[in-house]
Amino acid sequence: MAVPLLKDHSLFRSRDLDEARERVAAVFCPHRLETLGKSSLFDARHNHLPGQRLSINYIEYGARTLIAPGELGGFYLLQIPLEGGAEITHGLTTYQSTPQRAAILNPHLPTRMTWAEGTRQVLVQVSRKAMQDHVTALLGGPSDRALTFDGPLDLATGPGAALRRLVMWLVAEADAGHSPIGQGLMSRQIESTLMSGLLEARHDHQALLSRLRAAPRPRHLRLAENFIEAHLDQPITLEDIARAAGISPRALQLSFRDHRGTTPLGFWREARLDRAHADLMAAAPGTRVTDIALRWGFSHFGRFSELYRLRYGLSPRDTLKSAP
């Protein structure tokens, strides 16, 4: 029998259908919950790890189960099947969710699901307001419509596979006693990374975000980015970058926020991670992770490993092992 995930964050376990419905609704939203087939197999479990803007959940029902919440209202929901799967009807679309295809549910479209017998899922619940705020920051202003995801997310390749690895690493960290979300700046960074990962899926804001990324940069932003690229292997400060760009540190921060959705030093860190990733992918036999980390200015190896895993979904050591 599979070991439940998030075992130290148990919310409830019950064979009573009414209790399960009420307890799950307290975290998510009111919904219809019925067993289909052998009700004797019903054995509900919900483990729940809350964060500041999102939560990570593990749910199983045992029996084949109908779940019909209608509109979720206040949150987006990513459902990653570990075993089994579900038939999802979301808005006008119907598809199968499997361990290779996650479901992304929008808060403003009606939902009806049938979970297969024995289905086990990890669910990431993201506050609707938090996701809207995240998109607003990337766009530099509010959108004129609700962010709407389209259909299932491929978990076998590309961004979906990276997002799954990130979610499962966060679950593993929690099960190891190191809760990755909750309080503090690191938690907010992780939550923002998860929301950015979700935005790699198909949605109706893709074209707009792509145009903004490709838009011409103001001269001071080009100067700042050129300075950063030329000093990736050197310690620099916000004031150094602002001086090279010819504007104040505050104006520089606003420019990076509006055009890049990050800070100047965040841009510098991500660029160094990209270089470290490229070096790890092309490393010769005998190369050590610490050598590459130091080359790109990461002297705190534990922190480097955490940032790297958040960005790429696997550890620096695992990337090094896969190098040709």
- The predicted-structure confidence for 120-172, as pLDDT tens digits, reads as follows 999 999 999 999 988 887 777 777 789 999 989 999 988 899 999 999 999 99
In the chain, the number of structural domains is 2
- Is there a single domain that holds both residue 160 and residue 189? yes
> Which of 181, 208, 235 is the C-terminal boundary of a domain?
208
Q: What range defines the domain where residue 306 resides?
A: 217-322
Instruction: Look up the pTM and report it.
Output: 0.72
Spatial strand order in the sheet of 54-60: 10-14, 44-50, 54-60, 120-127, 75-83, 101-105, 153-154
Q: In this structure, what are the phi and psi dihedrals at residue 205, rounded to the nearest 5 degrees?
A: -105, 5
DSSP per position, 289-311: HHHHHHHTT---HHHHHHHHHHH
pLDDT tens readout for residues 80-119: 999 999 999 999 999 999 999 999 999 999 999 999 999 9
Q: Residue 38, exposed/middle/buried by CB under 10 A (0-12, 13-18, 19+)?
A: exposed
Q: What is the pLDDT of residues 252-280, one digit of tens each?
A: 998 888 777 788 998 899 889 888 988 88
CATH number of the domain that residue 106 is part of:
2.60.120.10
Residues 173 and 245 both lie in one domain: no
pLDDT at residue 215 tops 80: no
Residue 283 confidence (pLDDT) above 90: no
Is residue 259 located within the same domain as residue 165? no
- Are residues 89 and 37 part of one domain? yes
Chain mean position to CA 84: 22
Mark whether 266 and 181 lie in a shared domain.
no
Same-domain check for residues 178 and 293: no
Between 323 and 142, name the one with better pLDDT: 142
pLDDT (0 to 100) of residue 32: 97
Task: Look at residue 233 in the predicted model and tell me its pLDDT.
Answer: 85
Check pLDDT > 80 for residue 236: yes
Look at residue 70 and tell me if it is in a domain. Answer: yes
65 within some domain: yes
Say what the pLDDT of residue 309 is. 81
Q: Are residues 303 and 265 in the same domain?
A: yes
Do 120 and 29 fall within a single domain? yes
Residues 6 or more apart whose Cβ sits within 8 Å of residue 8: 174, 175, 177
Q: Is residue 35 part of a domain?
A: yes
Q: Are residues 167 and 294 in the same domain?
A: no
2 belongs to a structural domain: no
Q: What is the CATH number of the domain that holds 307?
A: 1.10.10.60
d(CA 243, CA 266): 17
Say if 285 falls within a structural domain.
yes
In a domain, 287, yes or no: yes
Residue type, 40: S
Tell me: do 165 and 301 sit in the same domain: no
Does residue 299 sit within a domain? Answer: yes
